[in-house]
Structure 1
Amino acid sequence: MKSKVRNNSVSYFDMQFITSSISTMLVLLLLGLVVFFVLAANNLSVYVRENINFSILINDEMKESDIIKLQKNLNEEPFVKESVYISKSQALKEQSEAMGTNPEEFLGYNPFTASIEVKLHSGYANSDSIAKIEKIIKRNTNIQDVLYQRDLIDAVNENIRNISLVLLVLAVVLTFISFALINNTIRLAIYSKRFLIHTMKLVGASWGFIRKPFLTRNIWSGVLAAVVADAILMGTAYSLVSYEPELIRVITPDVMLLVSLSVLAFGVIITFLCAYLSINKYLRMKASSLYYI
């Protein structure tokens, strides 16, 4: 009897299974996009912060060998990502090309100073940290000045905080919406089987036995939907990176792996929970109640 009930209760890859999988896939695609934007935004914030630099102006009296030694010492500091030494002659050449004229020709001397351009690790790219770093650097008496755009740094960090907050709220809201949409899809599918569930109860089937085919079916539906959603997201990411290779700094393989695993986890967990809750609802109902829902 149990075998007969099982065969009648499970029908994989029918039209209901396909439509349920498509609906779930669309919702998981939306969730995947949210996860993608959150992770990509984090990478973008790191990329932007690590491209904020400041200039260390060197006194003319300092020898080039000492400047190179200073640069080497800076590179060993935990806050420095990389540094570039710009000599007086190189600074003159770059500024002459930018202005279209050579200031040395009418001034009679090179007005520019040697400098070291420093890029920081993202965790130190804020005004407070740079102010402390500035004090450390200025202990060297050969340092003329440390230049950085405080307003720009503050504006970048403020915008990053605001964007992160918006994405976090959006992620929470869309997670609840996605759960509701998938739950509604699964409830409708199980609703059509409510009398079959009641019949299985009448012939003595246990609740665990009744749940198993429904849970298995919906988990497979979630897996299929997640695989299709992941394929779409991966294909889109690959197209974007192919079109603009520089995006690989933001759309990294690690990001796409986390997105794929998140979508798969959402697909399995949400479909399992929704199916479990819906089945329990009909298992608790009396026969008379099934006609009025």
Structure 2
Amino acid sequence: MTNSFDSFQKRRLRSSYASVIISIAIVLFMIGVLGLILLKSTKVANHFKEEVVMSLYLNDEISEAQIETFREELLKKPYTKEIYFISKDEAAKTYSRDIGEDYLQFLGTNPLKNGIDLYLKADFVTPEKMQELQQEFQKNAFIFDVSYHKPLVEQLTKNIQRISFWLLIISGFFAVISIILINSSIRLSIYSKRFNIKTMQMVGATKRFIRRPFIWQSMQLGFVGAFIALIGLAFVVYYVDEYIPSLELLKDYFSLLYLALGILVSAFIITWVSTYFATQRFLNLQTNELYY
């Protein structure tokens, strides 16, 4: 009879540990995926920003040497990511191909200008900074006109700000949910040992002495759950990198390292805090309150 009861208790204990590990793993996996999105949202936003082009149309009077000097100066600017020179002849060929006929035969001359397509670094792709750059370029004697898609820049900036705001809200929500779920699982695990806690307390054990093995055990379960979460996250990173290679997830070692450390630290903090307050609650209960 005793052996059957002991076996039942061991199965119950293993089941309790398994539920704690699974809860921790699922929650930390969700936190990891969200953290991955947050880390990469900046890269994705920068990718779209750096696709915006500012076209600089040059005066006909400037020489090829002056154009080359101007290009070299642009490359040294802190806002420049890439530049491409487009001659008026190349622009005419492209335009003729787009409209399906050679319009130069009708006009006799090429009205287009030599131009430079300037791609800015992401930090400079905002309505305010691009407006400042446009005003600066318009003062340059080499430049005939400056053009860029203002509505696109404004809409892109608003959308990125809106998405960043909601990502922060969702991150906070998941953080609270994760703490509640892990805390509940640990409390249920400790609840089954509440009589042992009270017995140890009655024979003179200090609260710190009683609490220590529970905290250590919960932290071990937390790290097992974190390890499982990291394995799941590794599969996600691998498959996302396969289907969206432009994100370069597997090459971004520092972000992945920070993410892994964040999950491990989260497991440590959440399990430690949850176990501390769970054991504290049962330590403060009276003996007759243990049955409720």
Which 10-residue stretch deviates more, 226-235 or 267-276?
226-235
CA distance in 1 between counterparts of 2:263 and 2:289 reads 37
SS of alignment partner, residue 140 of structure 1: coil
Residue 274, structure 1, aligned to residue 259, structure 2 = no
CA, structure 1 residues 242+260, in 2 after alignment: closer, same or farther (shift >3 Å)? Answer: same
Code of the residue aligned with 1:137 in structure 2: it is F
Partner of 1:69: 69
CA distance in 1 between counterparts of 2:91 and 2:258 reads 44
TM-score by length of 1: 0.90
Shift of 1:137: 1.5
Aligned residue pairs, count:
282
CA, structure 1 residues 117+249, in 2 after alignment: closer, same or farther (shift >3 Å)? Answer: farther
CA distance in 1 between counterparts of 2:41 and 2:219 reads 31
Which 10-residue stretch deviates more, 248-257 or 155-164?
248-257
CA deviation vs aligned residue, 1:109-162 (integer Å, no higher than 9, x gap): 223211111111112111111111112222222211000111110000000011
SS of alignment partner, residue 62 of structure 1: coil
Partner of 2:244: 244
Alignment of 1:211-250 (within 5 A): 211-248=211-248
Residue 263, structure 1, aligned to residue 263, structure 2 = yes
CA distance in 1 between counterparts of 2:206 and 2:100 reads 87
CA distance in 2 between counterparts of 1:187 and 1:63 reads 78
CA, structure 1 residues 17+249, in 2 after alignment: closer, same or farther (shift >3 Å)? Answer: closer
Q: Gaps (5+ residues) in structure 1?
A: 1-9
CA distance in 2 between counterparts of 1:108 and 1:38 reads 55
Shift of 1:66: 0.8
CA deviation vs aligned residue, 1:153-210 (integer Å, no higher than 9, x gap): 0000000011111111111111111111111010000000000111111222222221
Shift of 1:88: 1.6
SS of alignment partner, residue 85 of structure 1: strand
SS of alignment partner, residue 55 of structure 2: strand
Whether contact under 8 Å (2:238, 2:250) holds in the other structure is no
SS of alignment partner, residue 14 of structure 1: helix
SS of alignment partner, residue 285 of structure 1: coil
Code of the residue aligned with 2:51 in structure 1: it is N
Which 10-residue stretch deviates more, 105-114 or 63-72?
105-114
Shift of 1:97: 3.2
Residue 155, structure 1, aligned to residue 120, structure 2 = no
CA deviation vs aligned residue, 1:47-103 (integer Å, no higher than 9, x gap): 111221110001111112211211111111112122111112222233333333332
Whether contact under 8 Å (1:43, 1:250) holds in the other structure is no
Code of the residue aligned with 2:76 in structure 1: it is E
Whether contact under 8 Å (1:68, 1:85) holds in the other structure is no
Whether contact under 8 Å (1:58, 1:143) holds in the other structure is yes
Whether contact under 8 Å (2:215, 2:275) holds in the other structure is yes
Which 10-residue stretch deviates more, 127-136 or 267-276?
127-136
CA distance in 2 between counterparts of 1:72 and 1:98 reads 31
4+ long deviations beyond 4 Å? none
Shift of 1:26: 0.7
CA, structure 1 residues 250+113, in 2 after alignment: closer, same or farther (shift >3 Å)? Answer: farther
CA distance in 2 between counterparts of 1:252 and 1:112 reads 43
TM-score by length of 2: 0.90
Code of the residue aligned with 2:274 in structure 1: it is C
Partner of 1:118: 118
Partner of 1:90: 90
Partner of 1:19: 19
Alignment of 1:43-54 (within 5 A): 43-54=43-54
CA distance in 2 between counterparts of 1:203 and 1:37 reads 51
Alignment of 1:75-224 (within 5 A): 75-224=75-224
Partner of 1:3: none
SS of alignment partner, residue 62 of structure 2: coil
Code of the residue aligned with 2:183 in structure 1: it is N
SS of alignment partner, residue 248 of structure 2: helix
CA distance in 1 between counterparts of 2:244 and 2:43 reads 16
CA distance in 2 between counterparts of 1:41 and 1:250 reads 16
